[in-house]
Structure 1
Amino acid sequence: MAEEAFLTTHDLSSALNALSATQHQHAIKGIKRGIERESLRIKGNGAISALGHPKGVGSALTNGHITTDFSESLLEFITPVSESATETLEQLKDLQKFTLEHMGDELLWPISMPCFIEDQDDIVLAQFGDSNTGRMKTLYREGLKNRYGSMMQAIAGVHFNISFPESLWQSLHTLKQSEQSLEAFISDGYLALIRNFKRELWLISYLFGASPALCNSFLQGRKTDLPFKKLGKGTLYLEVGTALRLGNLGYTNSAQSSLRVMYNSLDEYVAGLKKAINTPSDLYGDIDDYITQAPKQLNKNILQIENEFYSPIRPKRNAKSGEKPTDALLRAGIEYVEIRALDVNPFSETGIDIDQIHFLDVFLTYCLLKNSPEMDWEEQARSTENLDTVVNQGRELGVMLNDNNQQRTLQSWGSEIFNQLGDVAKHMDKAYGVTYYSETITKMAAWIDNPALTFSGRYVRELENAGIDNGLFAIQLANKYKQSHAQADYKVFSKQWLEQQVKESDKAREEIERSDTLSFTDFLDEYFKAKAPA
């Protein structure tokens, strides 16, 4: 009967009932995760580091665990894939401990919005060596600088990658009596998850947004209509805001607002992205590209490459060497999703904590299992409007959101979601033989009616109670976390193993540089020729 109900309704309760059958009840076990955490290197006074990538941590081009993002000073720590959330956090600690040992007196900035930066030219573009691949990565970043400015690129975040076990996909494939290939079924399932995630993305900003304040140097003289309050010497903050990083001042690209990248099928998603990387831009046409003597960007298209598409969630597949991300998706379907909507958690030395991981496990399972109708452009626009509302005033009690063209309070909608998350958590607890999923959902459900418990609520309260600048608050945390890392033992990666990764990365970079046979221009000619649509 449970299977018949699921076939008829495809709603969340019938999905959970069908999966509770003996042959399916453990299918959810085996969720895999990986985390990418970004952090600026700063001097002891809070200014951005002017030094290059720490020499003792290997090549940023080829070290798969310690690299850089936009700038030399923006470190990125990348964990391997693991089924253990605890192990993943311990890996992050090990990587940060090892890196701090090679940073001298410098600190890791523990929040998303950047430290005091006097001029954007103080932000040195990431350098990846003399190979064509390395030079391309740096030129891409120069393009980002000339398109959007370096200040936006100094914002740090946490990317959460998750894949569901094949056992779950096989159970759902059987329960839905699907005639699709398993590969196509999985891709459609991940896209359904993405659509639901976008519909309720505002909840992530409400709970985990942790960038309600910034240093006024970030504005670089730009005017804003946001109702900032002032604190200390140069701090601006939103009294009831949550995540400036996700708003109009943060990691956005107004030029992309016209892109109609949709998520109703894999072919539709890839076509939208490929169109953007092959369509000349009216805004960037005057910036010299790689075919000139002194290029300032890779090319003059709306997106230089696919990575430039700013989205809070992306479908992903591990690509082969030299393969484009969209080509990898077309080759073998979606393998996992990347959540890009997380601020750095200032209350955790790793930038993300175990409760967040448990919540995301439940929330993303909920997004996967509940019914997910196709999403048109107007609905995507509504989801962006809801996010903007929560970014700027999400902790204001009674704030109104647009739920499928019906106005309702954040508290009403949030409580409804948490009731359903509770059901998902119970199923996951039973499958895993644990209690922490339900405990996490019960804990965070209280945050809906009490915004002071959210990350941004705690953040603003600490600033106001201490009466200190945002920067001083962050420096105090940075020193505290550096000391904590120094006193901790390595848990998963030994120091010897990490040192071996450094040696191997340096050797790999040298081999890549030696193997180049084309000029830089010819190399990019080949790269973009391979990317052009058939």
Structure 2
Amino acid sequence: MSAALEKQLDRLVRNGQAALLKGILHGIEKEGLRVDARGHLSQADHPRPLGSALTHSHITTDYSEALLEYITPVFRDPADALEFLADLHRFGYGAIGDELVWGASMPCDIPNEESIPIARYGSSNSGQLKHLYRVGLKYRYGKMMQTIAGIHYNFSLPDELWQVLQEQQQDRHSLQEFRSAQYFRLIRNFRRFGWLLLYLFGSSPALCSSFLRGRPHKLESLRDDTLYLPYATSLRMSDLGYSNKAQSSLGICFNHLQTYTQSLHRAIHTPHAPYEAIGLRVDGEYRQLNANILQIENEYYSDIRPKRVASAGEKPLHALQMRGVEYVEIRNLDINPFLPVGIDRQQADFLDAFLVTCLLASDDLIDDDECDRISENLARVVNRGREPGLELTFGDGERPLLDWGREILDEVGKTASVMDGNVEDSRYSRAVAAQREKLEEPDLTPSAQVLRHLREEGIGYSEFVLAQSRAHRDLLLATALQPERLEYLSRMAAASLDEQAEMEASDSLAFDEFLAQYLAS
């Protein structure tokens, strides 16, 4: 890891090109359940003042009608993305009345799956397609898993930097091919070292007992209403959360764009017997888009994804195949219940330095054995990450998490020192230093802090998050939404409603025919 990283960092500094790292682009997507004042899952429709969940660029829903998703534009400075995200919360609170945005990844107390409304997107063919995909998720995995929320951190590098890196490596492929290959290099190293992010930022060591009602599990009871594991970091990322055993046979470890897209394409077109047993259409009602391993590519659950903005009507997988990787989406971040929008500037700065390190580190491919080790390490960290003396698989043996974590942070620290040359306050190195403290003292991690609050205050998970959610709302609303931002978001909401109405009025195909054409394309 070290030799390749140091070589490329040194070249950037010697050639006066490290300033190109100032051109990193960021976007943040943050989910959050709407709950009522008592912390119960909202049964209300997506509020009309927020606009159309189908067509709005910044405010939509994910699986459930109650699961808000706030999406920022792309910014160079992550502070701007975070401020826009805060403004989306402020704007949202103006539309949801007495409701709150649940300030954690694992959901509130939910008595049964029937109380989870599936998101609705109107009567257009596109809206029905989005709804039907989520109906399929219900039949495949159950509704409860779809109430989990997280943060996605979108990251890309400027073309000028790609050109410099290509010249450094004397690569003769097209810039598009080189960029895609290097993003996959980043992704492979992220897969290797991403367990560290779960340790540092995992914030879901506990959950409401109702989440696992009727399901076997190995969690311990903190109280009748709260389950936990004493050293867990992110139960959201464990096999209790986003997992799919049917996908384990895909063997996607992100070595090349071509093999990645081929694997997903095969999964989208490979029937799966348990899903065939569900049926496509029963008693006149659709149950899923198809009976294949994946209905669409987004059903593949991963902690990181290569992404490309698709054109209107274009499938994401086709966009990747035709025009290559444009950015990566980091998907293993819990919502930190101690932060008003679940993430802060220090975490963003560390993520930037970590991701640049992953890009410039070793270009080694991942074989099947290492792929298995990666999965094992993730399982150990999400369930036992703060356990004293915990060891992770490494090569043909094992090594202490603490030693490996120190080594990774040393490398990220080298990148941070170079990135500090572009700012006045050494904030990247300070962000790394803050993570060193958490590595050396596990009680400083957000997962440990959550359990400390539950124990010291003698409260359950839901009561704790409800109090945090109220405090976050009050803190956010203490700063008024600026008139120009209010005008912009109000205009976007109105325009999105008009766009949805236009789509519904202009559809000329029956949904059956539309779906057939979509699946055949």
Same fold? TM cut 0.5: yes
Correspondence 1:447 to 2:446: no
Which residue pairs with 1:307 in the alignment?
298
8 Å contact kept, 1:94–1:492 = no
Is the aligned partner of 1:216 residue 2:209? yes
Answering whether residue 477 of structure 2 is matched by residue 459 of structure 1, we say no
Q: Structure 1: state its 5+ residue gaps.
A: 1-5
User: Which 5+ residue runs of structure 2 have no aligned equivalent?
Assistant: none
User: What's the counterpart of residue 12 of structure 1?
Assistant: 5
Asked if residue 173 in structure 1 is aligned to residue 166 in structure 2, the reply is yes
Tell me what 1:3 maps to: none
Aligned to 1:41: 34
Matches within 5 A, 1:376-391: 376-391=367-382
C-alpha offsets along residues 231-254 of structure 1, whole Å, 9 cap, x if unaligned? 3x4111111110000001011111
| Structure 1 SS opposite 2:357 | helix
Match of 1:336 in 2: 327
| Structure 2 match to 1:150 | 143
SS at match of 1:26: helix
**Counterparts in 2 of 1:228-267, with a 5 A limit?**
228-231=220-223, 233-267=224-258
Q: Does structure 1 conserve the Cα–Cα contact (< 8 Å) formed by 2:304 and 2:328?
A: yes
1:501 aligns with 2:492: yes
**Residue 406 of structure 1: how far off its partner (Å):** 2.5
Query: Which residue of structure 2 aligns with residue 55 of structure 1?
Result: 48
- Equivalent in the alignment of 1:358: 349
Could you give the per-residue CA deviations for residues 78-111 of structure 1, whole angstroms, max 9, x where no partner exists? 0000001111111011111111111111111000
Q: Mapping of 1:49-198 within 5 angstroms? A: 49-198=42-191
d(CA) in 1 for partners of 2:221, 2:389 = 21
Q: C-alpha root-mean-square deviation of aligned residues, in Å?
A: 1.5
For residue 511 of structure 1, the aligned residue among 502, 515, 519 is: 502
Measured against aligned partners, the alpha-carbon deviations of 1:123-152 in whole angstroms (never above 9, x if no partner) come to 000000000000010000000000000100
How many residue pairs end up in the alignment? Answer: 521
User: What is the deviation of 1:280?
Assistant: 0.2
Q: 1:291 to 1:279 in 2, by over 3 A?
A: farther
Residues 262, 268 of structure 1: 8 Å contact kept: no
Distance 1:131 1:147 in 2: 24
Q: Percent identity?
A: 44
- Distance, in Å, in 1 between the alignment partners of 2:424 and 2:181 is 29
| Contact 1:240–1:394 under 8 Å retained in 2 | yes
- Per the alignment, residue 421 of structure 1 pairs with 412
In 2, the alpha carbon distance for the partners of 1:88 and 1:489 equals: 17
- Assess if the C-alpha contact under 8 Å between 2:22 and 2:76 holds in 1: no
State the SS of the aligned residue for 1:286.
helix
- Amino acid paired to 1:267: Q
Give the distance between the partners of 1:408 and 1:260, measured in 2 at CA: 25
CA–CA separation in structure 1 for the residues paired with 2:65 and 2:434: 39
The residue number in structure 1 matching 2:266 is 275
User: SS where residue 113 of structure 1 aligns?
Assistant: coil
Check whether the contact 1:90–1:491 (CA below 8 A) recurs between aligned residues: no
**One-letter amino acid of the counterpart of residue 30, structure 2:** R
1:403 equivalenced with 2:394 (yes/no)? yes
Distance 2:473 2:365 in 1: 47
Query: What letter corresponds to residue 126 of structure 2 in structure 1?
Result: T
Which whole-Å deviations, capped at 9, do the CAs of 1:199-235 have from their partners, x for residues lacking one?
A: 1111011001000000000002111124x1423x411
The residue number in structure 1 matching 2:520 is 529
1:196-211 correspondence runs (5 A): 196-211=189-204
Contact kept, 8 Å, 2:278 with 2:287, in 1: the verdict is: yes
Separation of aligned partners in 2, 1:208 and 1:283: 36
- Distance of 1:381 and 1:229 partners within structure 2: 30
Structure 1: which 4+ aligned runs deviate by more than 4 Å?
none
TM-score by length of 2: 0.98
Q: Is the 8 A contact 1:91 1:491 kept in 2?
A: no
Shift of 1:291: 9.3
CA offset digits 1:23-57 (Å, max 9, x no partner): 42212121000000000000111111111101211
Q: Report the CA distance between 1:167 and its aligned residue.
A: 1.9
In the alignment, the residues of structure 2 paired with residue 361 and residue 142 of structure 1 have an alpha-carbon distance, to the nearest angstrom, of 36
Q: TM-score, normalised by structure 1?
A: 0.95
Return the alpha-carbon distance in structure 1 between the equivalents of residues 282 and 362 of structure 2: 48
| C-alpha contact 1:132 1:520 (8 A) present in aligned 2 | yes
Q: CA deviation at 1:377?
A: 2.4
> Matched residues in 1 for 2:33 and 2:61: separation?
10
Please say if 1:28 is aligned against 2:21: yes
CA distance in 2, matches of 1:291, 1:263: 37
Partner-residue secondary structure (3-state), 1:284: helix
Residue 292 of structure 1, CA deviation: 7.4
2:9 and 2:435 map into 1 onto residues whose CA distance is: 22
